């Protein structure tokens, strides 16, 4: 079973700061997902990646398959970025339908 660890668990920063959230996992995967969860529960998929780097607006996600590590970066952070960011991994497609394995999430607060 894959273990997914995120750091930090909590992060408070000032508006405009560059934010980095890290995720490591223990077993090989087919894909890694970065998700955003706002108070109230709704989860939005930000990225799904299996190699390299993806960028969407001010968000950048990278993954190093050899090191089993991924990072989510937020440039020019804004109070509306305040949310819980969750890393989740998909097993190899040949490993059965095990669903996603989630980290516990990083609670991010951006202060004006």
Partner 1 sequence: ETGVTQSPTHLIKTRGQQVTLRCSSQSGHNTVSWYQQALGQGPQFIFQYYREEENGRGNFPPRFSGLQFPNYSSELNVNALELDDSALYLCASSLEAPAYEQYFGPGTRLTVT
Name the residues that contact partner 1, by CB under 8 A.
4, 30-31, 33, 35, 40-45, 48, 86, 88, 90-91, 93, 96-105
Report the C-alpha gap between 38 and 95 in whole angstroms: 31
- Least Å from the CB of residue 93 to partner 1: 6
Pick 4 or 72: Cβ nearer partner 1: 4
For partner 1, give the closer residue by CB, 35 or 110: 35
| Percent of the chain that is helix, strand, coil (3-state, to 5) | 5, 55, 40
**Smallest separation (angstroms) from partner 1 to the CB of 14:** 25
**Contacts for 59 with CB less than 8 Å, ≥ 6 apart:** 46, 47, 72, 73, 74, 75
């Amino acid at each position: 079973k894959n273990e997914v660890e995120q750091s930090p668990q909590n992060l408070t920063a000032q508006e405009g700061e560059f934010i980095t959230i890290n995720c490591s996992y223990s077993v090989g995967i087919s894909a890694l997902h970065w998700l955003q969860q706002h108070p109230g529960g709704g989860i939005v998929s930000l990225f799904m990646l299996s190699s390299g780097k993806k960028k969407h607006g001010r968000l950048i996600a990278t993954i190093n398959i050899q090191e089993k590590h991924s990072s989510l970066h937020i440039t020019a952070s804004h109070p509306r970025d305040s949310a819980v960011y969750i890393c989740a991994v998909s097993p190899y497609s040949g490993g059965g339908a095990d669903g996603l394995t989630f980290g516990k999430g990083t609670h991010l607060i951006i202060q004006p």
